Chains A and B, each alone.
Chain A
Amino acid sequence: MNKKILSVKDLEVTFKNGHESFTAVKNVSFDIYEGESFALVGESGSGKTTIGRTIIRINPATKGDIYFQDKKISGVIAKELDTYVIRNIQMIFQDPMASLNERATIDYIVSEGLYNFNLFKDENERRDKVFKALNDVGLLEEHAERYPHEFSGGQRQRICIARVLAMEPKFIIADEPISALDVSIRAQVLNLLRDLKQERGLSYLFIAHDLTVVRYFADRIAVIHQGELKELAETEELFARPLHPYTRSLLSAVPMPDPDVEKNKTLLVYDQSMHDYSVDKPSWREVFPGHFVLANEKEAAEYGKMYA
């Protein structure tokens, strides 16, 4: 295994509103290695986006720590480290229609980060960096003078990716980067992200709800439900031997483009009350090598025998 690039330890995020508080993320721990694409999969409200936003320091962590390249980046950190984090961890958002400034040219949008951190010597170097980033995502130099509304959804998402690439980050958080795109365009953006990973050894945190996309893109998958990780395994392992009932219900719900399979499938419904955690408390256990699941002792023993 490679070096760890990011580790999240016992993360808890609580939102407060007056006297009410809501814990969106609890007890979440995982590591992401260099050159790896790690996926967080869950439904809306599961806390997956909150984790991404906490890593990039938009939301503060209530408890727990986040380490980037072995340096602690959660809580109060030095200004230089903050700058370093902003440069090296970049985020791609879901909706390319909402995440670009409509009144700025593509040239400005892509170079905004460069301006903020003075990442260029002179105007020529800045232009070169912008053109290079645009070329990298398959756009042309002449596009730099245009405005976002002149582009289609897929092209806009490329602009978002170009803006991220201009910063030369080491780690990219992609929050549902293709959900808002049309089917035929999705493949283009997925291919682009995949090529960038292979060419530059970038690491990804890929946040998604669509397991078919994740299966294609991710090396490892963590399944999150109501703020807690339920299961974590290598991609094919997770699909071959899903253990947690929530993972299994999620897999059964994904519509497969295969009518004979789809018309004969049985839908599994997850009901939390099926767990009896009154005495035997659940913990994070490694049932198979590298395959973790949240379970108590009795369940873990059952899971171990499930695929025997």
Chain B
Amino acid sequence: MSEEKTPILQVKDLVVKFRVRNKELTAIRSVSLDLYDGETLAIVGESGSGKTVLTKTFTGMLETNGRIPAGRIEFEGRNLLDIKTDKDWEAIRGAKIATVFQDPMTSLNPLKKIGVQITEVIEKHQKLPKEEAKKIALTLMEKVGIKDVGKRFYDYPFQYSGGMRQRIVIAIALACKPRILICDEPTTALDVTIQAQILDLIRFLQKEYGFTTIYITHDLGVVANVADRVAVMYAGQIVEYGSVREIFYDPRHPYTWALISSLPTLARKNEPLFAIPGTPPTLFNEIKGDAFAPRNHYALNIDFEEEPPFFQVSPTHFAKTWLLDSKAPAADPPEAVKLMRKKGKIYAEKLAEASK
């Protein structure tokens, strides 16, 4: 993690609403978030928690039925929400903030040669002549680990495997040297061995080009692999954030507890897995109190009445739960969380010894 912490992007009290079937749905319910230069931030949550919608606002890619009634997104000294036209967004989208999506087949044009798809991005954004753009494209292809680039440049997407296609998508995303790379479930459609290679590749490129990465994922294994910091989202809000070690080894929000407890890796065989009861709340209605309360064993009476504020756990770790209030009774976290705490302590001791 970078020691000097300068925010590269700041989200303040962001609200996003969608109009669906003449009803209004609040997808993001007042989110604030700082993204620091050079870090890797992972946003975790189930589908529908708003993680993708949140990052789409950074590049002005909300669906047309969406609107942003409140909030600010500060990037390079301006509020991104002041940008109105698609033309103006082009200076940001792809150029400064690029996105890698889940399915590499749908993000590439099946009718165009791979080389053309990379060079046209470079030509457009950097206003370079064809020959130079091609040179840059070939270097990028080599950088993302494509072999025999001279020949592969002229192949079509269907001639590439899923993992190779995702490498090309990453090359295109990096073509304009963005400052922020948003990876939206970049490896969900890939096999585990390929996934591991892609995660390694992104890490390597991050060192090389020095961009800041946001990962959107529901896979806590991937989060543990890539993240410096983690933000956990539930029902359109960030409910807990902290360093990756704080979130895994000392989580404080009952929803984070539930996520960790439901992992099969930590379960004992022949014992039922912990399953979160019920379903996430519908975002069409206004939510009273803590959105997770109806599914939460640890819910206090106040959780149904009043929305909790963020409580500070450490200088970098915050959680939005009444359990951290000084008046709250002590809660006994689930076994899996205790196990993780123990693991964290053992590692910390080892680290301390090693540094002696």
Q: Using A152-B279, A183-B259 as known contacts, say yes or no to A255 and B222 having CB atoms under 8 A apart.
A: yes
CB atoms of A249 and B225 under 8 A apart: no
Tell me the B185-216 residues at the A interface (CB within 8 Å): 191-197, 199-200
Q: How far is the CB of B352 from chain A (nearest CB, A)?
A: 13
Q: Does A213 contact B (CB under 8 A)?
A: yes
The distance in angstroms between the C-alpha atoms of A169 and B102, with both chains bound, is: 37
Tell me the A243-270 residues at the B interface (CB within 8 Å): 249-250, 252-263, 267, 269-270
CB atoms of B269 and A187 under 8 A apart: no
Chain B residues near A194: list those with CB within 8 A: 272
Q: How far is the CB of A273 from chain B (nearest CB, A)?
A: 15
CB atoms of B274 and A187 under 8 A apart: yes
Q: Does A285 contact B (CB under 8 A)?
A: no
Q: Does A186 contact B (CB under 8 A)?
A: yes
Q: Using A187-B275, A216-B273 as known contacts, say yes or no to A209 and B220 having CB atoms under 8 A apart.
A: no
Chain B residues near A195: list those with CB within 8 A: 272
CB atoms of A210 and B220 under 8 A apart: no
Chain B residues near A190: list those with CB within 8 A: 264, 273
The distance in angstroms between the C-alpha atoms of A212 and B220, with both chains bound, is: 12
Q: Does B263 contact A (CB under 8 A)?
A: yes
Q: Does B58 contact A (CB under 8 A)?
A: no
Mark each residue of chain A from 196 to 240: 1 if its CB lies under 8 Å from any CB of chain B, else 0. Answer: 000000000000011111011100000000000000000100000
The distance in angstroms between the C-alpha atoms of A210 and B192, with both chains bound, is: 8
Q: Using A184-B276, A257-B260, A258-B248 as known contacts, say yes or no to A212 and B265 having CB atoms under 8 A apart.
A: yes
The distance in angstroms between the C-alpha atoms of A187 and B262, with both chains bound, is: 6
CB atoms of B275 and A255 under 8 A apart: no
Q: Does B13 contact A (CB under 8 A)?
A: no
Q: Does B72 contact A (CB under 8 A)?
A: no
CB atoms of A258 and B267 under 8 A apart: no
The distance in angstroms between the C-alpha atoms of A191 and B269, with both chains bound, is: 11
Q: How far is the CB of A266 from chain B (nearest CB, A)?
A: 11
CB atoms of A257 and B248 under 8 A apart: yes
- The residue in chain B whose Cβ has the minimal distance to the Cβ of A41 is B192
CB atoms of A212 and B225 under 8 A apart: no
Chain A residues near B260: list those with CB within 8 A: 257
The distance in angstroms between the C-alpha atoms of A211 and B264, with both chains bound, is: 10
Select the residue from A152, A187, A252, A270 with max chain B CB neighbours within 10 A: A187
Q: Does B224 contact A (CB under 8 A)?
A: yes
CB atoms of B347 and A254 under 8 A apart: no
- Residues on A lying within 8 angstroms of B by beta carbon are 43-44, 152, 182-188, 190-191, 194-195, 209-213, 215-217, 235, 249-250, 252-263, 267, 269-270
- Residues on B lying within 8 angstroms of A by beta carbon are 46-47, 162, 191-197, 199-200, 218-225, 227, 244-245, 248-249, 258-260, 262-267, 269, 272-276, 279, 340, 343-344, 347
